Amino acid sequence: MQKLKKEDINQEVFDLYDDYAHNKIDRKEFIKRLSLYAVGAITLPALLSFISPNYEDSIVVKLDDPKLKNETISYESPKGGKVIKGQLSILNDTTEKLPGVIVVHENRGLNPYIKDVGRRTALEGFIALAPDALSPMGGYPGNDDKGREMQRKRDQTEMLEDFIAGYNYLKNHKDCNGKVAVVGFCFGGWISNMMAVRIPELAAAVPYYGRQPKKEDAAKIKAPLLLQYAGLDKRVNAGWPDFETVLKANNIEHEAHFYPEVNHGFHNNTTPRYDEESADLSWERTIAFFNKHLKG
């Protein structure tokens, strides 16, 4: 199959994928519109393969990394007695209690990329918990398309409560020192913002390209925020001016970074929306922010 490069692809293809990934169009319509860009040597199968996530070749920290202990844990959902499962990662050689970080997935469940981010976080000296909001439905199904379909069937408010319960689980874990922050991506960015709204004692929040809270909710935030936005992400960025106004008016500690000429999802190294320079810089900032607020 033809090997495509990012520079071969029209920006409209990335915008189209964003609409599909965020349930604005169904798969049939996505394929129909995508086929319009299959011209000349660029075939539709090549486009589909290029735009889809590649988990097999993209893992940064493997599950069997000898420096880490990774396990699947369970805790009760506050809604209906359901059980939420998640990946808990911690350094093997730690001799003291560590600050914690909740790692929140996108709108498709706990896929290999987010599990990897959890392990990357743990390597930086945090105890990391990456819950799976799809647990009550059997968990991430191994396929992002099906994962999105499953997650659409869950109520967002209930999922928020499940992640808040994850915060409480981690805060009270025997290896945690009680300081807990959150980082989340896309849907997880919204969850991160809303956890900052709902949890006054949250140590810090780092939403990546996350939808902003309503004005009346944003005013309740106590946690310091590090907000990571993609320069080309018009959909999410449209909510920033009103959010910024509330943050400033209420003297809420925050810093926002807009990474120029990159797409929504730029941190996700499994898709062509990934931008290595921006992803690396944003992650350096994230870890420095966590070190300041959880270890400083």
Tens-place pLDDT, residues 57-86: 999 999 999 999 999 999 999 987 799 999
Q: Are strands 83-91 and 127-132 parallel, antiparallel or unpaired?
A: antiparallel
Which of left, alpha, beta for 109 (phi over 0: left; psi -120 to 50: alpha)? left
**Is residue 209 within 8 Å of 229, Cβ to Cβ?**
yes
Structural fold of domain 68-295: Rossmann fold (3.40.50)
Residue type, 7: E
Distance, in Å, from the CA atom of 252 to the CA atom of 213, rounded to the nearest integer, reads: 14
Contact 101, 180 (CB under 8 A): yes
d(CA 105, CA 183): 9
Question: Which residues, 6 or more positions from 3, have their beta carbon under 8 angstroms from its beta carbon?
Answer: none
Whether residue 118 contacts residue 94, with contact meaning beta carbons closer than 8 Å, is answered with: no
Evaluate the CA torsion angle 22, 162, 258, 251 in order and state its sign: positive
Q: How many residues does the chain have?
A: 296
What are the residue ranges in the chain where pLDDT is below 70? 1-2
Task: Write out the two tokens for 153.
Answer: 């069937």
CA angle 74/98/173 to nearest 5° reads 30
The SS3 assignment for 234 reads helix
Model pLDDT, residue 94: 87
pTM for the predicted model, two decimal places: 0.96
- Contact of 192 with 207, CB cutoff 8 Å: yes
Distance CA 108, CA 150 (A): 8
Q: What secondary structure does DSSP assign to 59-104, as a single string?
A: -SS-TT-TTEEEEEEEEE-TTTT-EEEEEEEEETT--S-EEEEEEE
CB distance 110 to 140 below 8 Å: yes
**How does DSSP classify residue 85?**
E
Residue 74: alpha-carbon gap to chain centroid: 20
Q: In this structure, what token pair is assigned to residue 243?
A: 């959010």
pLDDT, residue 107, reads 97
- Report the relative pairing of strands 254-259 and 127-132 from DSSP bridges: unpaired
Residue spans in the chain of domains classed CATH 3.40.50.1820: 68-295
Quick one: pLDDT at residue 55?
A: 94
- In this predicted structure, what is the pLDDT of residue 243? 98
pLDDT given at position 157: 95
30 Cβ partners below 8 Å, 6+ apart?
16, 17, 19, 20
